């Protein structure tokens, strides 16, 4: 079963609405709802006084209708009484401003007071609902790190010092890691260390990097306080929490993944961006890859408009359906919306819902009901996986370090780099995983977009990967610093990677904003250029202008049984696609379906006994796709045909065997 549903907030409505909700859910094919995300003040109106009666009623009604529940721990925002009695739980910004209640997520992740009260509530929930027939999965917290990416209060400062003691052991080790001989920053006592708050000039980059690591770990520790209660009281009920898409910078998902049974994502791509589906696909590939391809949950998605952008228009007909089915194509076994019934008041009253303000007799609800039928038809898809021959390397530590200040160019950013490399693979119909830098094994081709922070040991793993027959593509400003943001010496990149690539770089020549440099052959370089010295590699393209005219821009190095490519600039989209086609062909990587028309996406999900092909037409015109062999469409029940016509924004799911 592909689960289908939404965030359900019955406490927003009078009890006489609840029966109508359950009736409409049944009509729409809803199988799972998230319940109670922001219900703490409702169930605990005063410290230690609990009112679960309304939750009991709703859980029972859902169970009677055969609808399961992802029950939230209700701790996403503390109630007013907690911040009134304990204002020290409120988070503090870098500039010392203490934030006020009245919104959400108004808590410091390191606060022992917050954690104590949260754990007490979770214990009550686990004991009360652990055996309830509606309970399917626990939804712990909500969107950690979304609004409070880091707290700079004194409690966080003390927690940071404890984290540093555990990481480094001694002040000598910390001083070495932070290069504190620079600008007279040497520490002689742990108490001298503070968070990287607002300072007169550039702050210590290693300190900033460690604070981002610490902040992710502090939120994880907050999550684990609740998770440990749930695992003790309800050991057989799985846990999840919702990451925030496209990809979330604040949290190291690789560190979080082992503590979740199922990985979940909230995804809100820009509906008016003609390439927004490409960004969404990348996020889905990231979250799918966290547990080695295990199916994941789309825990939030907008049926139509959202409320937080400057302009929040409705989704065109068919966009909601296509967006959800794209997530399913890329490995989701649950598709959920925020939210079920559109709120009448509050900050999100103009955020769309499955049941809009106008009620069930609306286009949005009709589309939602039809989508429920589509997902019911895809029951056999559940449990299948997406297989990929290409891996993109992604590391949160490198992302944090890459986007610190005082670098050659502030225009080099991580997600921009990923998407520039990912888009041509997407357009070519080639499936990709997104994995940790230390896990390239098993892939025919590995892509490294601007992996700035790379330690020598991991670089050695990449060298061995190429030597053993792998194909590697590395872009500029990769392998520059170690885990403490200290530059590797002897030329860039770090030595093992330099050996595999057969090049050495002495100087960076980033391009001015809005400028480009011609290349030979007829490609264009953007964003960056650099002085590359060939040390065994061959030049595939050269700079054809500027101070580096005639010097290598793109190189290829046959190394051991494999091949390593290096890009000393950001190729224009046409050049990237041309290069990707060549690199993929050399690596033996084939598209899911050759000869796809432009704007059509093909993804395969498979298991040992079944295989499905998803075709998604992102064009506003109908497109015909040649399949090569007939296959039935599960969504329409149409008879097998070797040529399938997709309507505008249409989706087909074909059973191959």
Catalytically annotated residues: 143, 300
Helix, coil or strand: residue 112:
helix
Report d(CA 179, CA 420) in Å as an integer: 33
Residue 154 CA to residue 147 CA, distance in Å, equals 19
Beta-carbon contacts of 503 under 8 Å, excluding residues fewer than 6 positions away, are 532, 533, 534, 535, 537, 552, 555, 557, 566
Residue 654 and residue 612: Cα distance in Å, rounded?
A: 6
Following CA atoms 374, 377, 381, 382 in sequence, which dihedral angle do they give, to the nearest 10 degrees? 90
Query: What per-residue string of b and e applies to 160-181 under the rule 16 or more CB within 10 Å gives b?
Result: bbebbeeebeebeebbebbbbe
Strand ranges (E), 59-102: 68-72
Q: How far is CA 610 from CA 188, 327, 542, 604, in A?
A: 63, 19, 47, 11
Residues 122-126: contacts with CB under 8 Å, at least 24 apart: 122/73, 122/75, 122/226, 122/229, 122/230, 123/229, 123/233, 124/50, 124/52, 125/71, 125/73, 125/74, 126/229, 126/230, 126/233, 126/234
What whole-number distance in Å separates Cα of residue 131 and Cα of residue 188?
A: 54
Instruction: Measure the CA–CA gap between 73 and 601, rounded to whole angstroms.
Output: 37
- Cα distances from 310 to residues 158, 302, 417, 491, in angstroms, run 38, 16, 26, 46
**Residue 383: strand, helix, or coil:** coil
Strand partners, 555: 539, 566
Give the integer Cα–Cα distance in Å for 59 and 133: 9
Burial of 403 (0-12, 13-18, 19+ CB in 10 A): middle
**Total residues found in the chain within this entry:** 657
Structure tokens at 489: 């010496």
What's the CA gap between 182 and 48, in Å, rounded?
A: 52
Residue 603 sits at the vertex; the CA angle it makes with 260 and 363, to the nearest 5 degrees, is: 85
Backbone angles phi, psi at 421, to 5 degrees: -85, -30
R_g (Cα) of the chain, nearest Å: 26
Identify which of 258, 260, 279, 257 has the alpha carbon closest to the alpha carbon of residue 268: 279
Q: Checking DSSP bridges between strand 3-8 and strand 332-337, what pairing results, if any? A: parallel
Task: Give CA–CA dist 586/466, Å, rounded.
Answer: 13
């Amino acid at each position: 079963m592909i689960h289908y549903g939404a965030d359900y907030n019955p406490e927003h409505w009078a009890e006489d609405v609840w029966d109508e909700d359950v009736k409409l859910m049944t009509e729409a094919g809803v199988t799972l709802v998230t319940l109670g995300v922001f219900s703490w003040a409702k169930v605990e109106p005063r410290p230690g006084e609990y009112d679960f009666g309304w939750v009991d009623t709703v859980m029972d009604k859902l169970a009677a209708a055969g609808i399961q529940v992802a029950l939230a721990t209700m701790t996403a925002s503390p109630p007013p009484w907690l911040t009134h009695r304990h204002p020290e739980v409120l988070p503090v910004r870098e500039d010392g401003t203490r934030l006020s209640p009245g919104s959400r997520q108004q808590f410091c992740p390191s606060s022992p007071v917050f954690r104590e009260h949260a754990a007490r509530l979770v214990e009550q929930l686990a004991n009360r609902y652990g055996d309830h027939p509606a309970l399917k999965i626990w939804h712990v917290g909500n969107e950690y790190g979304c609004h409070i990416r880091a707290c700079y209060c004194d409690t966080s400062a003390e927690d940071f010092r404890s984290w540093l003691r555990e990481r480094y052991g001694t002040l000598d080790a910390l001083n070495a890691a932070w290069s504190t001989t620079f600008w007279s920053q040497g520490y002689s006592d742990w108490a001298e260390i503070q968070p990287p708050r607002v300072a007169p000039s550039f702050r210590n980059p290693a300190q900033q990097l460690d604070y981002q690591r610490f902040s992710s770990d502090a939120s994880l520790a907050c999550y684990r306080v609740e998770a440990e209660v749930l695992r003790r009281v309800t050991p057989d009920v799985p846990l999840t929490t919702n990451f925030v898409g496209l990809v979330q910078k604040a949290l190291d998902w690789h560190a979080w993944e082992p503590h979740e049974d199922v990985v979940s994502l909230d995804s809100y791509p820009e509906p008016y961006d003609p390439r927004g589906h490409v960004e969404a696909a990348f996020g889905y590939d990231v979250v799918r890859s966290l547990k080695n391809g295990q199916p994941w949950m789309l825990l939030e998605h907008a049926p139509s408009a959202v409320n937080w952008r400057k302009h929040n228009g409705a989704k065109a007909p068919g966009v909601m359906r296509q967006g959800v089915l794209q997530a399913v194509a890329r490995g989701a076994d649950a598709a959920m919306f925020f939210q079920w019934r559109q709120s009448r008041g509050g900050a999100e009253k103009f955020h769309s819902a499955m049941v809009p303000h106008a009620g069930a007799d609306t286009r949005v609800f009709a589309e939602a009901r039809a989508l429920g039928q589509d997902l019911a038809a895809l029951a056999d898809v559940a449990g299948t996986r997406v297989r990929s021959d290409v891996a993109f390397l992604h590391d949160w530590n490198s992302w944090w370090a890459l986007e610190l200040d005082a670098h050659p160019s502030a225009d080099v950013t991580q997600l921009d780099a990923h998407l520039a490399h990912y888009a041509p693979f997407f357009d070519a119909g080639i499936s990709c995983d997104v994995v940790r830098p230390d896990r390239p094994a098993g892939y025919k081709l590995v892509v490294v977009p601007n992996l700035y922070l790379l330690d020598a040991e991991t670089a050695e793993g990449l060298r061995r990967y190429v030597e053993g027959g792998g194909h590697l593509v590395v872009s500029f400003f990769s392998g520059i610093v170690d885990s403490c943001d200290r530059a590797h010496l002897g030329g860039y990149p770090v030595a093992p990677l330099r050996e595999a690539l057969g090049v050495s770089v002495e100087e960076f020549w980033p391009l001015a904003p809005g400028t480009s440099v011609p290349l030979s052959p007829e490609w264009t370089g953007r964003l960056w250029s650099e002085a590359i010295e060939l040390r065994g590699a061959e030049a595939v393209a050269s700079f054809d202008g500027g101070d580096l005219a005639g010097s290598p821009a793109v190189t290829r190095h046959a190394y051991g049984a494999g091949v390593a490519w290096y890009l000393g600039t950001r190729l224009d989209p046409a050049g990237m696609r041309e290069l990707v086609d060549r690199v993929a062909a050399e690596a033996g990587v084939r598209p899911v379906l050759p000869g796809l028309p432009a704007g059509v996406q093909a993804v395969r999900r498979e298991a040992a006994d079944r295989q499905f092909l998803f075709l998604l037409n992102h064009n506003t015109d109908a497109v015909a796709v040649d399949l090569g062999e007939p296959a039935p469409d599960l969504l329409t029940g149409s008879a097998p045909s070797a040529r399938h016509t997709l309507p505008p924004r249409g989706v087909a799911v074909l059973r191959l065997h």
